[in-house]
Structure 1
Amino acid sequence: MSTLSPTSRAAPDSPSFSTPPPPPPPPPRWPGAKPIPLAVSLAIGIIFRFAVPKPSHLSNQAWQLLAIFLTTVAGLILGPLPVGAWAFVCLTISVLSRTLTFAAAFAAFTNEVIWLIVVSFFFSRGFVKTGLGDRIALYFVKLLGKSTLGLAYGLALCELLICPAVPSTTARAGGIFLPIIKSLAFSADSRPKDASAKKLGAYLIQSQIQSANNSSAIFLTAAAQNLLCVKLAESLGVKIANPWVSWLKASSLPAFISLLATPFVLFKLFPPEIKETPDAPVMATQKLEQMGPIKRNEWAMVGTMLITVALWISGQALGIASVVAAMLGLSTLLLLGVLDWDDCLSEKSAWDTLAWFAVLVGMAGQLTTLGVVTWISDGVAKLLKSFSLGWPAAFGILQAAYFFIHYLFASQTAHVGALYSAFLAMHLAAKVPGLLAALALAYNTNLFGALTHYSSGQAAVYYGGGYVKLPDVFRLGILMALVNIVIWGLVGTPWWKILGLY
């Protein structure tokens, strides 16, 4: 008679020790567009098209394109698809509905400014691939990094130096500065998502993202949205002579003073626990020794960018367009082997930017041509006039509205594509000097880049580092926004008067 051991058979009333069945698998995720954001985005356009009365002096084509544009903007905010994919879907709708011809819909894909942005993204890849960006940042840490405040200034000044040649703020944040800040923080035993984050990492993250706002504003080629602003301004008749130099003249004084103030102000508002960092220069020296002497490709990158920036500055006098100068620089890097074509093909952000920038620029241009932007701006101008406001007051109100409405946007470039033309037209209708209005809106497009953790690509990158808590992001975002507004107002107003902008 066989017997079973206690371990082989449980008593009838005893609990079973067998392995519980695995939980049922989660339902398969829908692989396409997110249903709710898709439905809301489409509903906004459909309701506007068929439920809102059309002004008599606007054509059906104009009203229908405005509805599609509102759907596009809603999708950029809600995100039913990645930005480029959603832009393409909306472009398809505009052609399928015969709102735009195929040629009109794709006309902006030959836009010089958009291709300048694309080529500039490739320069960013060159800085990261050659290690030149890391080397420059480490030199600043070595020179200024004996204190936490010195570290913050070193990183901020480094970004100011390289940003004219690296127009992607996200690339600068993710490819160069966040890795260095993490390394510095780890060396001080400052860890993400931990109480030790406030030792060093949290302050350096906040200082860098807030400083980057002013770095991006100071040079035309420091951020992709700057170039888009210039193009949209031109479509409304605001021509900026010698754009690179004119932009720098107007931005230099307020942006540089605000940049210098930012690390110090944050040092008081959001102080790090560690005030002295004597090991940071040592660490930077060690890493520079590991990198060895400056390599051939780094020298080639330096030389190419110096020539390209020189052509951007003097191109108008020489008859060389900015995009041609950029093409020459990229061709040089390809011929010298600093970049290869696979590097360009794999730069997804560049091709994505080409797709959705072209859609937004094309739609904005067509809305202007069809009279929609003029209709909106005239309505706002009449409202402001009813309050008996002069152009300075209208300027302040419109600039503030443009700035703080960014809480609704998850991208600076999406904000520009959606609202820049309309707000510039409102300024012009309120008799604000055109060049002043165009540049101030463009500068504000950079200054609101750190309002929230989603307000820009670099904000998302830095927040993703895990060093700063969300309440601190919002609190410091609004405080530093007000600091920037005050500095730019007090310094920029007389400076722009001297330059003759008004």
Structure 2
Amino acid sequence: MESSILKAPRDPSSFPASLSHRLRPHASSRLVSPSQAVAGFKSLSLASSLFTARDANLLLTQKKREFLSTTWHISASAAGAAAVPSSPAAPVPRKPWQGAKPLTFALSVAVGVILRFFVPKPAAVSMQAWQLLAIFLSTITGLVLSPLPVGAWAFLGLTTSIVSGTLPFASAFSAFTNEVIWLIVISFFFARGFVKTGLGDRIATVFVKLLGKSTLGLSYGLTLSEALIAPAMPSTTARAGGVFLPIIQSLSLSAGSKPRDASSKKLGSYLIQTQFQAAGNSSALFLTAAAQNLLCLKLAESLGVIVSNPWITWFKAASVPAIAGLLATPLILYKLSPPEIKDTPDAPAIAEKKLQAMGPVTKNEWVMMATMLLAVALWVCGDKIGIPSVVAAMLGLSVLLVLGVLDWDDCLSEKSAWDTLAWFAVLVGMAGQLTSLGIVQWMSDSVAKALFSLSLSWPAALGILQASYFLIHYLFASQTGHVGALYSAFLAMHIAAGVPGVLAALALAYNTNLFGALTHYSSGQAAVYYGAGYVELPEIFKTGFLCAICNCVLWVAVGLVWWKVIGLY
């Protein structure tokens, strides 16, 4: 009689759960390792003690087939995978070159190398001076071609002048203590205060409300403000950095025009360049509008050229050509560098709503306003009480720091200020050393000899000397430095050529103001406006040169006629 167990069905699914689990293949994987197979065989051996030999053989055969089938499947899959060629890995993109641009770097260096080693040195010039001139020209070329950022390239020029033994360390870094440069740096911090407190935005909104129907109207409003402030504020750098740059920045940002961005062309670039060029004419309009104006008359007096009733005489002679220049500048730049935003008929109404939304003036805005009024008052009257312009600016910044309107992190994060300090100090230092080493004197002597050999009439001599005096400013990074180095020499050449003394003295002084807008390093205000980041370097040089031509034509055409009328010649 058979056991009841032997009568159990042969379907493995009917086995006890514990045994059935041990016999089922794992659902998580088709792969069965040899050790797992052995364990399975042992399980079958245990089961065979409970079943008949026939049942055990059937189960064992089934497990063997399953194991072989799984092994064959894995082997076939591996073989198939080996037969299919793997796709090549995607190439890792190379990082772009972060260093100097090779072509412009080579061209910039080549200018200095050619002058130093292939152009014969004049006998009147020392080797040290000639070598410094080569380094200076390479530096200027690099600033135009931009193989590296401006500050980095200027630092390379500074390093070269020291490594080559051309300048000692102290001389190379002498301009880093220049008062004008630090006035420029602090003016950037003032601009940050205008932005941070919202005062700049409020003033800009008022401008838009009054004059904002067109970009041209805004430009004329700023130009008029420049002319009105100029006679009471004899620092063009202070006017640029402390008053107009914050307003222009706020106007530009409110119009979506950002620095160092394609959107700079919307509004910021045009307003910056217009105000930059207008500053030259406004400084020439009044004797007290720029520090170098008084210096010019003092030097003229030392050569025997006396300008009677100087403030009135200066203003009367400059009034017609300077006002013509102020009126023409926004229109000229409207053609040379047109803004993308031209007409804004709804702007005044929008500005009115914005002013209402801004609410009353905040405490920090009042502090900022009072501090700037204090600084302006000291800029106007500081010389009478022994406070230079840079000290007035330092006092203003100290007030803002003490009262918490600005913190030191605000100053540290103002990269434009520190970048301007680096490159502008390098250029001012090099230009000063060129004067000290006699390069500038050699150039002026060469011009004088050429004029005397031509036996020109005094009007022709006037034109050539004025043009030479103007263009030599490409080698200077300071208007006052240019006056100190060349004004007396060129005035003496004018007098020797028969040019009327007062006419020559005033014309040279007016040109001293106009060439302040020639390059990004030609004056303190130039560094301020360029540092704002709205105008690229090649455009600065292009518009500077074209506007210089326009100003010269305007001053010659209008000025000579007017000067004849008032009896200067």
Report the TM-score when normalising by structure 2.
0.62
Residues 115 and 463 of structure 1: CA distance in aligned 2, closer, same or farther (over 3 Å): closer
Q: How many residues align?
A: 447
Residues 491 and 169 of structure 1: CA distance in aligned 2, closer, same or farther (over 3 Å): farther
Matched, 1:346 2:420: no
Q: Match for 1:444 among 502, 515, 518?
A: 515
Partner of 1:141: 208
Matched, 1:63 2:63: no
Q: Match for 1:25 among 93, 113, 124?
A: 93
Partner of 1:3: none
Partner of 1:377: 444
Partner of 2:252: 178
CA contact (8 A) 1:378 1:429 kept: no
1:403-414 paired onto structure 2 within 5 Å: none
Partner of 1:309: 376
Partner of 1:211: 274
Partner of 1:430: 493
Shift of 1:498: 11
* Structure 2 unmatched runs, 5+: 1-85, 230-235, 284-288, 303-310, 496-503, 521-525
CA contact (8 A) 1:126 1:338 kept: yes
Answer with 1 or 2: which has the greater Rg. 2
Residues 105 and 268 of structure 1: CA distance in aligned 2, closer, same or farther (over 3 Å): closer
Residues 276 and 431 of structure 1: CA distance in aligned 2, closer, same or farther (over 3 Å): closer
CA contact (8 A) 1:305 1:329 kept: yes
Residues 138 and 500 of structure 1: CA distance in aligned 2, closer, same or farther (over 3 Å): farther
CA contact (8 A) 1:114 1:354 kept: yes
For the residues of structure 2 that align with 1:343 and 1:460, how far apart are their CA atoms?
Answer: 18
Shift of 1:117: 1.7
**3-state secondary structure, aligned to 1:461:** coil
Matched, 1:330 2:393: no
Partner of 2:429: 362
For the residues of structure 2 that align with 1:272 and 1:105, how far apart are their CA atoms?
Answer: 40
Indicate the RMSD between aligned Cα atoms, in angstroms: 5.2
Letter in 2 for 1:326: A
Partner of 1:6: none
| More RCO (CA 8 Å, sep 6+) | 1
Q: Match for 1:110 among 166, 173, 177?
A: 177
Partner of 1:128: 195
Matched, 1:37 2:104: yes
Shift of 1:285: 0.7
For the residues of structure 2 that align with 1:153 and 1:462, how far apart are their CA atoms?
Answer: 20
For the residues of structure 2 that align with 1:273 and 1:386, how far apart are their CA atoms?
Answer: 51
Residues 86 and 252 of structure 1: CA distance in aligned 2, closer, same or farther (over 3 Å): farther
**3-state secondary structure, aligned to 2:241:** coil
Deviates more, 1:481-490 or 1:342-351: 481-490
Q: Match for 1:457 among 512, 519, 530?
A: 530
CA contact (8 A) 2:135 2:161 kept: yes
Shift of 1:178: 2.3
Report the TM-score when normalising by structure 1.
0.69
Residues 354 and 405 of structure 1: CA distance in aligned 2, closer, same or farther (over 3 Å): same
CA contact (8 A) 2:215 2:341 kept: yes
1:59-98 paired onto structure 2 within 5 Å: 59-98=126-165
**3-state secondary structure, aligned to 1:431:** helix
**How many percent identity over aligned positions?**
55
CA contact (8 A) 1:37 1:78 kept: yes
Shift of 1:55: 2.1
Which string of whole-angstrom CA distances, capped at 9 and with x for unpartnered residues, describes residues 253-302 of structure 1? Answer: 65444334455678899999999855221100111122221222222222
Residues 397 and 133 of structure 1: CA distance in aligned 2, closer, same or farther (over 3 Å): farther
Partner of 1:189: none
For the residues of structure 1 that align with 2:301 and 2:190, how far apart are their CA atoms?
Answer: 27
Partner of 1:99: 166
Shift of 1:348: 1.5
CA contact (8 A) 1:108 1:362 kept: yes
CA contact (8 A) 2:281 2:325 kept: no
Partner of 2:499: none
Deviates more, 1:113-122 or 1:158-167: 158-167
Shift of 1:118: 1.6
Partner of 1:319: 386
Letter in 2 for 1:446: A
Shift of 1:214: 4.1
For the residues of structure 2 that align with 1:370 and 1:341, how far apart are their CA atoms?
Answer: 40
Letter in 1 for 2:516: T
CA contact (8 A) 1:120 1:167 kept: yes
For the residues of structure 1 that align with 2:534 and 2:185, how far apart are their CA atoms?
Answer: 21
CA contact (8 A) 1:123 1:330 kept: yes
